[in-house]
Amino acid sequence: MTKSLPNALGELGRPKEPMKVLITGGAGFIGARLATRLLNQGHAVRILDNLHPQVHGTNAAPPAWMIDNCDVRVASITDAHAVRDAVREVDTIVHLAAETGPAQSMYEIERYTANNIGGTSVLLQAILEHRDKIRRLVVASSRAIYGEGKYRCFDDGVVYPDPRQDERLLRGRWEPVCPSCGQDVVSIATDEGSLPKPTSIYAVNKLGQEQMFLVTGTAYSIPTISLRYQNVYGPGQSLTNPYIGVLAIFSARIKAQSDIQIYEDGQESRDFVHVDDVVEATLLAILSDRPGAEVYNVGCGQPVSLKAVAEKLAQAMGQSVPIEVSGRYRVGDIRHCYADLTRITRDLHYRPRITLDEGLMDLAHWVQTQESFTNDLDKATSELNKAGLFR
């Protein structure tokens, strides 16, 4: 069946019968690699993707291997007719399609919400028409729903800080404080039971998408899993989209031998997870026999500062570029957040396999093979300035 497929990772245990899987956003960074894994396991794959120019570039088309091996539908997730047709005759649905980019979502509110919430409603309505044939739903959520995530206060124990205030940030006081006593707090691993505190329209959208899937799956007895991805990186990510993927932005700057500008003091941290580990977690969710509705973090479970990861990436790419800390900040950015992986390890037996150093070397090798590209970070920054969201 398959022809000219990219190399796949190892195999997971297969269900008794091949699946028919619909991947919305399936031509994207995560979706394309997931499609490859599913095809190599003998499953049929249908892809619905609008090939948005911001992500795929102008005049984009699905790669030849995808056209040869998948049923590819180029259409928007908001196109009810196309979505109903795409859902027909599949038994598993993975919903990855979304407008992504927390900062951009703050001044493109209508577009983000129309696609993320409106598109999800279109998909779920179509699913109901074929619910007797659907064996599992998987939806991509995001660590963004947590906001600052989980912290510990010396006096008040576990707390969930409020969004950081301009009054402190303008004075370079970057760390969150206890919402009860105002003391300094320490970031700890954020588990799935943590209080959601979204700080962007994108985060609100992702929380809404997740809840819409979980409520629908529960009501109609369709097993449903929501995966809260951390910061995903690796070969295949869009290198020209300045609104998402800090490592893609860094890669473009390093390849051009330009300086890297990091917001705040460079010590803000994230949980970076390689795309192959994310695909592995998503496959485990697809193949799971877990009943009901479940939510899982997907990450590495370790925080790393943006300054440190920029230095590591420059070293992996064999370049020495200035790394400058700007002291400026974007409204809605968080300071720290990293995943507690206890639940997904226990239930799905997921463990990240690719270390940050290995993953950055993998990304660096791939970036060096790409043709010249530009990442229009200046345009994105200008838009933030115009909206009054860059201080």
Query: Do residues 194 and 45 share a domain?
Result: yes
What total number of domains does the chain contain? Answer: 2
In a domain, 264, yes or no: no
Residue 32 included in any domain: yes
Global pTM value: 0.94
Do 69 and 124 fall within a single domain?
A: yes
CATH number at residue 34: 3.40.50.720
Range of the domain at 224: 20-147+190-236+272-301+333-356
Whether 160 sits among the annotated catalytic residues: the reply is: no
- Residues 6 or more apart from 195 whose CB is under 8 A from it? 146, 160
Q: Does 228 reside within a domain? A: yes
pLDDT score at 373: 64
Confidence at residue 5, expressed as pLDDT on a 0 to 100 scale: 54
Does residue 241 lie within any of the structural domains? no
**Contact of 247 with 162, CB cutoff 8 Å:** no
Per-run averaged pLDDT (10 residues), the chain, 391 residues = 46 67 97 98 98 87 96 98 98 97 95 98 97 97 97 98 95 97 97 97 98 98 98 92 87 90 96 98 97 97 98 96 94 95 98 98 94 72 88 91
Residue 9: its pLDDT value, please? 44
Bridge partners, 3 (sequence order): none
In terms of C-beta density within 10 A (0-12 exposed, 13-18 middle, 19 or more buried), how is residue 13 classed? exposed
Q: Are 232 and 29 spatial neighbours (Cβ–Cβ below 8 Å)?
A: yes
Distances (CA, A) of 304 to 29, 231, 269, 355: 22, 11, 5, 12
Q: How far is CA 380 from the centre of its chain?
A: 19
58 and 26: one domain? yes
Do the domain assignments include residue 374? no
- The per-residue pLDDT for 1 is 42
Whether residues 172 and 64 fall in one domain: no
Same domain, 124 and 202: yes
256 part of a folded domain:
no
pLDDT score of 372: 63
pLDDT value for 241: 83
Catalytic residue among 112, 146, 151, 202: 202
Same domain, 113 and 203: yes
94 and 202 assigned to the same domain: yes
**Do 91 and 216 lie in a common domain?**
yes
Residue 91 counted as domain residue: yes
Please indicate, yes or no, if residue 7 is contained in any of the structural domains: no
Residues 94 and 65 in one domain: yes
Domain co-membership, 171 together with 93: no
167 and 290 part of one domain? no
Question: What pLDDT sits at residue 53?
Answer: 87
Instruction: Note whether 54 and 164 are same-domain residues.
Output: no
